[in-house]
Structure 1
């Protein structure tokens, strides 16, 4: 990806005029809110002329302020926490309503895209797999970790990777056709993600890929692809639909192997008590 506007400002800051530096500094200080300002807002808030604002953006490689706003929205779609909707600052009551509506829409979208027959096949594969390897990086890691915490109560041989401060190769070594890898590939993935998917493609193992729309290009490298929207009303992504999908998969697996699952849950609960690990 080409340098974003903050990087462009940092690279050229010393060569900007004093007035351009005022605007540039304001942008850097309010980077998260960039998309909700107008050129007139920037001129007024920094005490410069609109022509100075326009001149700055052209020096930074943008045709006009509309291209800056498109650039900011592109950054947001790639996962950078930027505010892109001025209505976000509305009162709490309205904010809560809009948040609820967006969450409900995300959940509706993820569930409507899952074919029931495909879901049953995935659950059966999770049940029959000799080993379940759950992989997640950055924001995907907590999802993989939570998924593992749910599944390990139902069946054994559920592994989370990469472990803290550990490499990934050891966990991939020895994967066989009886194993299943669940890859969480939500946006702002590390470069290693490409190599991971290429490597899994060359292995006999089956792959379930779960991610947002930016991971759709990797779907051809997986046996199954489940898409979860992350849309929110403000800067930070919402993973509520992804967490709901994890719950759905865990419950599906439990009902797939109800007798064994309940027996393992009981065994885990007894160990909680004997180890005195959990408070009442």
Structure 2
């Protein structure tokens, strides 16, 4: 297993200090090989002993073995941040790897079933997660009705949660650099009785216990800015699975929407 997958798999069993250290590893995954173990411990604000315990908890003998693990990932076609002009072939390979990991998630059919059968669906996202949430909403609304996105620019989400119940689903899109209140939103969403599907990169694993379902989706970050190709691909594959789960009613809705477009001459 990759180091980020190991952290996600063992996160709930880690101590609070080890979780802090793990969060630092995830935030600096591209550059881990440039640090010493002591520097990582200082960066995380934990002791060197805590950092060493974390390495062992993740199945590594020491930090040298972590470095070797990272080298093996690069050797398998998953390059990290590079200096100078980007290598187009390496960048494309990294994007492909991230997309494949996203769209092959084993719980996509289960998530699609929940979304197809829900009374109402609320899709939320903040900052860079908002375009992913909005894209997912725009796809889902083609297959079924009663799908909303939030927060509407300039508004809050409290009013969106009131009235949700056990027959509804909240999809929370939370990629890294989430707003401070993200955890509070998940907790409040859970009190409504609605199923909560969390979609995020490995750094969101700390919030996974507050969700009914956790769909981990990688971000590709070989360049200075994160690429959201994998999240957008996951949104498309998930929506496609929802359309399939909706069956004939979903197909009829798609056709009705197309006919409405044609009558209103809204699209070319």
Does TM-score exceed 0.5, indicating one fold?
yes
- Whole-Å Cα distance in 2 between the matches of residues 241 and 88 of structure 1? 23
Q: Which residue of 115, 132, 139 maps to 2:128? A: 139
| Deviation beyond 4 Å, 4+ runs, structure 1 | none
How many angstroms does 1:212 deviate by?
Answer: 0.4
- Whole-Å Cα distance in 1 between the matches of residues 156 and 108 of structure 2? 31
Residue 130 (structure 1) aligns with: 119
Please tell me whether the aligned partners of residues 103 and 233 of structure 2 are also in contact (alpha carbons under 8 angstroms): no
Please tell me whether the aligned partners of residues 110 and 229 of structure 1 are also in contact (alpha carbons under 8 angstroms): yes
Over 3 Å counting, the alpha-carbon distance change for 1:257 and 1:201 in structure 2 is closer
How many angstroms does 1:67 deviate by?
Answer: 4.9
- Whole-Å Cα distance in 1 between the matches of residues 100 and 253 of structure 2? 32
Q: Does 1:104 align with 2:99?
A: no
Segments of structure 1 that go 5 or more residues without pairing to the other structure are 1-34, 39-63, 72-83
CA RMSD of aligned residues (A): 2.3
- Whole-Å Cα distance in 2 between the matches of residues 278 and 232 of structure 1? 35
Please tell me whether the aligned partners of residues 232 and 238 of structure 1 are also in contact (alpha carbons under 8 angstroms): yes
Please tell me whether the aligned partners of residues 103 and 237 of structure 2 are also in contact (alpha carbons under 8 angstroms): no
The within-5 A match list for 1:128-277 is 128-277=117-266
Please tell me whether the aligned partners of residues 243 and 250 of structure 2 are also in contact (alpha carbons under 8 angstroms): yes
CA distances 1:127-153 after superposition (whole Å, capped 9, x unpaired): 110000000000010001000110101
- Whole-Å Cα distance in 1 between the matches of residues 199 and 255 of structure 2? 30
Residue 89 (structure 1) aligns with: 84
CA distances 1:205-257 after superposition (whole Å, capped 9, x unpaired): 10000000110011111111011111222110011111111111111011112
Point out the more displaced range, 102-111 or 141-150. Answer: 102-111
Q: How many residues align?
A: 198
TM-score, normalised relative to structure 1: 0.66
TM-score, normalised relative to structure 2: 0.69
* SS of residue matched to 1:210: strand
- Whole-Å Cα distance in 2 between the matches of residues 250 and 88 of structure 1? 37
- Larger Rg belongs to: 1
- Whole-Å Cα distance in 1 between the matches of residues 113 and 226 of structure 2? 31
